[in-house]
Amino acid sequence: MQFRKLGLKFQKVDQILISHLHGDHYFGLVGLLSTMHMLGRTRSIQIYGPKGLKEIVEIQLYAAGSRLSFDVFTTEVAPETNGLLYEDAKIKITYFPLAHKIPTSGFIIHQKEKDRKLNIDQAQLDGVKIEYFHRLKKREDVIDEDGRLFRFEDYTTTGCAPCTYAFCSDTKYHEPIVEYIKGVDVLYHEATFTELLLDRAIATKHSTARQAAEIAKLADVGQLLMGHLSARYDDGSEHEAEARPIFENCLFVQDGETYTIQTC
């Protein structure tokens, strides 16, 4: 429903990350897979999550007598560990342990270094052939058929620096995560409560807005996005007011809104 409401094409989804096995984080998974099946999907999908996730998905499909038209590959991780989950030519995704009532993982999406920008005018002036352009952009020096050397530094400049985005929900205040998220461009950190309900945050192993800001400051991140607010709050204005004196570049975020992550 949310995919349709937001105009997103869920058939383009190939990787799914599940942080932990509290229902609000995975109840919709089998429904999503079933909808993909009904719409004719044949391309496989990869799911990452804690131990037990594969069994949950298989039991639900078996109980419903469902057989999907595509393969579902599930990679289960021990949430107390950290490592690489996924990698392709453009990104890699790593995971690390959070601290919640049940085993929970945080995730970091690392954008890989982009191709350099080509100075086309200089390249054409020096007689660099078009077929060499892509190699120069990929930081390769080129020697043409006449033996001339073209160094990529002479014809390209650096583009935008690659971005990093860390996702931390759900978790109590937990300083050990700082080593994993240090210096990321954007940190999403849960802020279920404000300090007025610190005792509730401690009891449920959630965080306050102040605690999220303290983690962002310790990790020296570029921006803090706060979410996962308790339903008792109408909006995130109290959370922003609480967090901003500690970490100024912070924002309360809501489902359905779009945020651009840029490094230049």
pLDDT of residue 263: 62
Beta strands 15-17 and 117-118, pairing class: unpaired
pLDDT of residue 261: 77
Do residues 90 and 180 both lie within one domain? yes
Domains held by the chain: number: 3
Q: What is the pLDDT of residues 7-63, one digit of tens each?
A: 888 889 999 999 999 999 999 999 999 999 999 999 999 999 999 999 999 999 999
Do residues 129 and 229 both lie within one domain? no
The CATH number for 259's domain is 3.60.15.10
Do residues 89 and 213 both lie within one domain? yes
Q: Any idea which residue has 């001339």 for tokens?
A: 148
Do residues 57 and 27 both lie within one domain? yes
Q: Which residues of the chain have pLDDT under 70?
A: 1, 262-264
Separation CA 242–CA 229 (nearest Å): 14
Q: Quickly list DSSP for the chain.
A: -HHHHTT--GGG--EEE----SGGGTTTHHHHHHHHHHTT--S-EEEEEETTHHHHHHHHHHHTT---SS-EEEEEE-TT--EEEEE-SSEEEEEEE--SSS--EEEEEEEPPPPPEE-HHHHHHTT--GGGHHHHHTT--EE-TT--EE-HHHHEE--PPPPEEEEE-S----GGGHHHHTT-SEEEEE--B-GGGHHHHHHHT--BHHHHHHHHHHHT-SEEEEE---TT-SSSHHHHHHHTTT-SSEEE--TT--------
| Residue 21 half-sphere exposure toward CB, CA atoms < 13 A | 15
Do residues 185 and 249 both lie within one domain? yes
Do residues 73 and 105 both lie within one domain? no
Do residues 146 and 127 both lie within one domain? yes
Do residues 170 and 236 both lie within one domain? yes
Separation CA 17–CA 107 (nearest Å): 8
Range of the domain at 61: 1-77
Active-site residue identified among 24, 121, 199, 234? 24
pLDDT of residue 259: 81
Q: What are phi and psi of 226, to 5 degrees?
A: -115, 135
pLDDT of residue 143: 93
Active site residue 14: no
Angle at 152 between CA 150 and CA 156, to 5 degrees: 125
Do residues 228 and 259 both lie within one domain? yes
Do residues 2 and 125 both lie within one domain? no
Do residues 124 and 167 both lie within one domain? no
